[in-house]
Amino acid sequence: MAKTIDAWMQHPTQRWLDMPFLDSLRRWSHGTIPDTEPPVSWTLDRMDEAGVEIGMLSAWHGPSGALISNDEVGAVVKSHPDRFVMVASADLSRPMDAVHELRRCADEYGAVGLRIIPWLWDLPPDDRRYYPLYAACCDLDITFCTQIGHTGPLCPSEPGRPIPYLDHVALEFPELRIVAGHIGVPWTNEAISLATKYPNVYIDTSAYKSTRYPTEIVDYLRGHGRHKVLFGSNHPAWPASDCLAGLDALDLDETTRAAFLRSNAIRAFKLPY
């Protein structure tokens, strides 16, 4: 089995755990989200249980401020450089400050990605406030990560619709690598069409167990999309072990399985492995 790279995970802070938007996820995830901030060893243990070698560890920043700060993520990455890679976040309300912060994260922590959650801001990814960050990502050769599809938290889902919003971004920034997380349900076919249309658009499967992947994404993964779909868990809400259980039933050939679990993430994030 290929050594797995998890393209979407968080190590929770107490600020993140206390956010009301997690209430619906707690109801669905049946106790996987802790009530109090765990040590990093807890996340490492969950990774080891699932056979995850590398976690793309994400910061979170919303209108209320940093829920998981870049420096908190950076400290974990520096303490465990063989297990984690940093995905930064930024304050959309101050775009130029956000650009400076992204550059700092790349310089100080080796950040290879920027993740912005559209529903957290209620701003789709073609909003003007993102655009300085896209230019900075292209300049720094950093991947932009976002969520597509419906929103698990009780927030509007519309900003996560792939077409027209992410379509605009991919068209206007052809050099920008984009990883669109959470598959895109109920707009999965829109997500697949973008990943097919644009060489630099990828889909990750975070927040879905392999037993719940839509038929369309499984067919795409088995076929001409075998190099465009990445594994992601959304730890801690959906641990990687739960997401990977049942993967054998997808009947992926060895090459496709290795690409899904590892090499597609290496390509999408330009990882040095």
- Residues 21-38: pLDDT tens digits? 888 888 888 889 999 999
For 159, the domain range is: 4-269
Distance, CA of 38 to chain centre:
21
- CATH of residue 181's domain is 3.20.20.140
* N-terminal to C-terminal alpha carbon distance within the chain: 17
The CA-based angle 68-139-179, given to 5 degrees, is: 55
Angle between the N-to-C axes of helices 95-109 and 131-140, in degrees from 0 to 180, rounded to the nearest 10: 20
One-letter identity of residue 45: D
Q: Would you state the pLDDT for residue 1?
A: 47
Per-residue pLDDT tens for 202-260?
A: 999 999 999 999 999 999 999 999 999 999 999 999 999 999 999 999 999 999 999 99
Per-residue pLDDT tens for 167-196?
A: 999 999 999 999 999 999 999 999 999 999
Number of domains present in the structure of the chain: 1
Distance, CA of 161 to chain centre:
16
